[in-house]
Chain A
Amino acid sequence: MTDSLWEVFTQPADGSPFEHAGSVHAADAELALQNARDVYARRGEAVSIWVVPSSAIVASSPEDRGPFFDPGNDKPYRHPQFYKVPRAMKSE
């Protein structure tokens, strides 16, 4: 048995989203959390930490960058700028 790789996500402050910080090696989840704290939160950089086995991460692949995301790229009507507003209301 050897240690395994864990991805570390930290929440910098209450109400903030979690951000990827890096990874740690650890024998189990409990030690992964402790290692993550010692490596990525020595100066109060986190109020909460997630650790996830790296093997459990599923990611989009770079080759798909165009086709995978293009359903979102041709829909200007999803943005407020698409809609006309009476001139008098422009400032709001």
Chain B
Amino acid sequence: MSPTQDAQETLELPAFEAKLAAGQTIEPKDWMPERYRKQLIRMMSQHAHSEVVGMLPEGNWITRAPSLRRKISLIAKVQDEAGHGLYIYCGTETLGVDRADLVDQLLAGRAKYSSIFNYPTLTWADMGAIGWLVDGAAIVNQTMLAKASYGPYARAMVRICKEENFHKRQGYEIMATLSAGTPAQKAMAQDALNRWWWPSLMMFGPSDTDSPNSAELLRWKVKQKGNDELRQRFVNLTVPQASAIGLRIPDPALKLNQETGDWEFGAIDWSEFLQVIAGNGPCNRERLAARNAAHAEGGWVREAALAYAAKHSQQAAA
């Protein structure tokens, strides 16, 4: 940071922090500390990338959906994820970055996205588990982010939360249907829950005591609640949903604390999380390759749109 920037920060910071303390929203043209801007760009672009990469595990099953009803739901859900990515990229651009640069960072493998999308979707039941657990976890997180101190981020979250409820319901319905089906179908549902449960808990990020960004984001009210609190809320919501459809959470240590009302759960294997974040999950390379291929194959559409626009602006000028 330059000396003039430093001086500016000292001058403006108290007013900025007073605004946050009063629960006011920060808008794009308001003064903000460089660090706040950087943290938001990091967090929002990672969130947008997650929506975009999140289309891949589910796109895998569109052609193999078991019925037309399931197929149209899945297509609509995947299209929503593209829309969510666009809402958040658009919010990130208000911080002075270019969407094309963010997309380039993702394609080049220099950007992070949610670790959950680096797991494979092996069976149809995984479409149920993703909607129920992954979107369910996302709702818990995003409902909190809908009150984020940065206006464009908060507004994108409000829009997204409205749509995620459909995602979760369609996933839970898939799981309930399989669970009430043949023994083989029920086993398929249980297997999907077994594989997605722990990665879903990891979606909330490391424990607050180990999270490098949590304290700062909480102080600036980008986040209103810590990772552990949100994770506990998700577990409390999900355990009764599992038993309602006759599925078992794959955690022998899971037990209800009668005093707090919390479902206490076993230790999370953070070494697995760190491996996946570091690029060594089961599907990291496959996801990036698929995203790069899709971007390259869509190149002619972008070129055609520009050529068409250029032709029409010439005709209008003539």
* Given A3-B305, A62-B31, CB of A42 within 8 Å of CB of B312: no
Specify the chain A residue showing the minimal Cβ separation from B313. Answer: A28
Q: Closest CB of chain A to B75's CB: distance in Å?
A: 12
Stretch of B78-86, B183-191, B248-256 at the chain-chain interface: B78-86
Within 6-57 of A, Cβ neighbours of B (below 8 Å) are at 22-28, 30-31, 38-39, 42-43
Q: Closest CB of chain A to B103's CB: distance in Å?
A: 11
Asked whether B87 lies within 8 Å of A22 as measured between CB atoms, the reply is yes
Q: Return chain B residues, CB-CB under 8 Å to A73.
A: none
Asked whether B306 lies within 8 Å of A42 as measured between CB atoms, the reply is no
Q: Return chain B residues, CB-CB under 8 Å to A61.
A: 29
Q: Return chain A residues, CB-CB under 8 Å to B305.
A: 3, 26-28, 31
Asked whether A28 lies within 8 Å of B308 as measured between CB atoms, the reply is yes
Q: Return chain B residues, CB-CB under 8 Å to A59.
A: 29
Tell whether B302 is near chain A: CB-to-CB under 8 Å.
yes
Tell whether B27 is near chain A: CB-to-CB under 8 Å.
yes
Tell whether A2 is near chain B: CB-to-CB under 8 Å.
yes
Q: Closest CB of chain A to B93's CB: distance in Å?
A: 7
Tell whether B289 is near chain A: CB-to-CB under 8 Å.
no
Tell whether A85 is near chain B: CB-to-CB under 8 Å.
no
Tell whether B90 is near chain A: CB-to-CB under 8 Å.
yes
Asked whether A23 lies within 8 Å of B80 as measured between CB atoms, the reply is no
Asked whether B99 lies within 8 Å of A25 as measured between CB atoms, the reply is yes
Tell whether A1 is near chain B: CB-to-CB under 8 Å.
yes
Q: Closest CB of chain A to B247's CB: distance in Å?
A: 30
* Given A22-B90, A42-B83, CB of A2 within 8 Å of CB of B306: yes
Asked whether A27 lies within 8 Å of B83 as measured between CB atoms, the reply is no
Tell whether B310 is near chain A: CB-to-CB under 8 Å.
yes
Q: Return chain A residues, CB-CB under 8 Å to B27.
A: 62
Asked whether A1 lies within 8 Å of B310 as measured between CB atoms, the reply is yes
Asked whether B306 lies within 8 Å of A3 as measured between CB atoms, the reply is yes
Asked whether A27 lies within 8 Å of B309 as measured between CB atoms, the reply is yes
Specify the chain B residue showing the minimal Cβ separation from A28. Answer: B309
Q: Return chain A residues, CB-CB under 8 Å to B83.
A: 38-39, 42
CA distance A25 to B99 in the complex (A): 9
Tell whether B156 is near chain A: CB-to-CB under 8 Å.
yes
Asked whether A3 lies within 8 Å of B302 as measured between CB atoms, the reply is yes
CA distance A61 to B28 in the complex (A): 10
13 A-B pairs (CB sep. < 8 Å): A1-B306, A1-B309, A2-B306, A22-B155, A23-B93, A25-B99, A27-B308, A27-B309, A28-B305, A31-B305, A38-B83, A39-B86, A61-B29
> Chain A: residues with CB nearer than 8 A to chain B?
1-3, 5, 22-28, 30-31, 38-39, 42-43, 59, 61-62
Additional pairs, 13, CB under 8 Å, beyond known A1-B309, A3-B302 = A1-B310, A2-B306, A3-B306, A22-B90, A24-B90, A25-B99, A28-B305, A28-B312, A31-B309, A39-B83, A42-B79, A61-B29, A62-B30
